[in-house]
Structure 1
Amino acid sequence: MNGSAHSTPSVLYINLKRGPAGLGFNIVGGVDQQYVMNDSAIYVAKIKENGAAAQDARLQEGDKIIAVNGRLLENLSHSAAVQLFRTAGEDVQLCVQQRQYLSQQNGPFGSQSDGDSSSSFNTQTMITLVATAALATVVGILVYKRLRGPRSPF
Structure 2
Amino acid sequence: MNGVPHRSPNVVDIHLRRGAKGLGFNIVGGVDQPYVVNDNGIFVSKIKQDGEAAMDGRLQEGDKILAINGIMLADRKHNEAVDLFRTSGEHVELRVLKKLPVHMNGSTESQPHFEPSVSSRGLLAALVGATAIVAFIYLRHLRKMA
TM range (shorter): 0.5 to 0.7
Q: Which runs of 4+ in 1 moved over 3 A?
A: 101-104, 134-137
Instruction: Identify the match of residue 133 of structure 1 among 116, 121, 142.
Output: 121
Q: How is 1:2-151 mapped onto 2 (pairs within 5 angstroms)?
A: 10-100=10-100, 103=111, 127=116, 131-133=119-121
Distance, in Å, in 2 between the alignment partners of 1:62 and 1:134 is 24
SS at match of 2:119: helix
Please identify the structure whose Cα radius of gyration is greater.
Answer: 2
Structure 1: tracts of 5 or more residues without a match = 1-7, 105-126, 138-154
| Contact residue 65 and residue 95 of structure 1 kept, 8 A | yes
Following the alignment from structure 2 to structure 1, what is the Cα–Cα distance between the partners of residues 74 and 44?
15
Distance in 1 (CA, whole Å) between partners of 2:33 and 2:21 is 24
C-alpha RMSD of the superposition: 2.4
- Unaligned residue ranges in structure 2 (runs of 5+): 1-7, 103-109, 126-146
TM-score by length of 2: 0.67
In 2: Cα distance, 1:69 partner to 1:131 partner: 36
Question: How far is the alpha carbon of 1:132 from its aligned partner?
Answer: 2.4
The AA in structure 2 aligned to 1:90 is E
CA offset digits 1:35-85 (Å, max 9, x no partner): 001110000000000000000000000000000000000010000000000
TM-score, with structure 1 as normaliser: 0.64
- What's the secondary structure of 2:55's corresponding residue? helix
Residue 133 of structure 1: CA displacement? 1.9
Quick one: which amino acid aligns to residue 82 of structure 1?
V
Answer whether contact 1:9 1:98 (CA < 8 A) is retained: no
Percentage of matched positions with identical amino acids: 53
